[in-house]
Structure 1
Amino acid sequence: MIKLLWAMDENNLIGNDNRLPWHLKAELQHFKTTTIGQTILFGRLTYEGIGTPLPNRKTLVLTTQQNYVVNHPDVKIVNDLKGIISFYQKNLTEDIYICGGKKIYEATLPYADELIISYIKGIYVGDTYFPTFDLTEFTLIKSIKFEQFVIKYYKRKEHN
């Protein structure tokens, strides 16, 4: 299954200089809990914004740079997004969590089986917004409220 996971403010802001515009401990804990032991995919700039491999996860870093290298056993550099999408569409027992940035979200939204969105309360300052998408293609399956944000889980509607 292909799952997109992100946090955005009330204006759909998701980033500022390849970092999160906010620091919410509970939201970071949600990200960690959701992705621990999973495969996650970042674009190169988002990965570099984090600055270090995230522990206990298999990380794929998508880049067009053919000679890009990260020397870490849990990090794999990939250049073929179509191949990754195809693998996870066919492999129903394995999940991949798409974790940004904007270009990666744009490219993978049409293939998303599930969306996990943290709606951050308030308006922040930043430079990167989540691409426009159609939530009517998804069904809300669960919602969890926190003081500073709400996590909503969506599943793609079945096509008849």
Structure 2
Amino acid sequence: MMAVMENAVEKIKIWFRFVPREGWFPQDTEGLWAMPLGDDTACVRNIPFLQDGVAEGDVVRYQTDADGIHWAVGRVSASGNCTIRVVPVPTGPLGRNPKAVCQRLSAFELGGEVFSEDFPMVAFTAPAGADFAGIKTLLARGQTEGWWHYEVGSGTDEWWNA
């Protein structure tokens, strides 16, 4: 019996440049994994921790420099997904526990990644069609009750209007 193999396309790293924010990380670039779609376009396949205005599933255009590094030059199409970043308050009821953050948001079945053990920020993808109003309500409650701080790195009209 022969196994059927999908077209195996290797992921590439697309780099984004941005101005570092005061009081935030000193980095001015972030690399995101992406699946090539054409000569100069790719679909983002992980959640941005630092780059604003892009979400997992968005299609971006890139240019490749002389060193073979792929630099994002713009978004071609939006996926409808949103990027949300949540940092637990160390002195709050969740402590520095990113798993506790994920558990609080688990009812919404969001995909999430943890930045690092030293900085337990969790970046979530809220997929198009998710209960944006419910997510926003819980995020606001958690911030008010001292569980976490949060920000929206990439929101859609549906997110902002929910």
Instruction: State TM-score, norm by structure 2.
Output: 0.26
Instruction: State TM-score, norm by structure 1.
Output: 0.26
Taking CA–CA contacts closer than 8 Å with sequence separation of 6 or more, which of the two structures ends up with the larger relative contact order? 1
**Larger Rg: 1 or 2?**
2
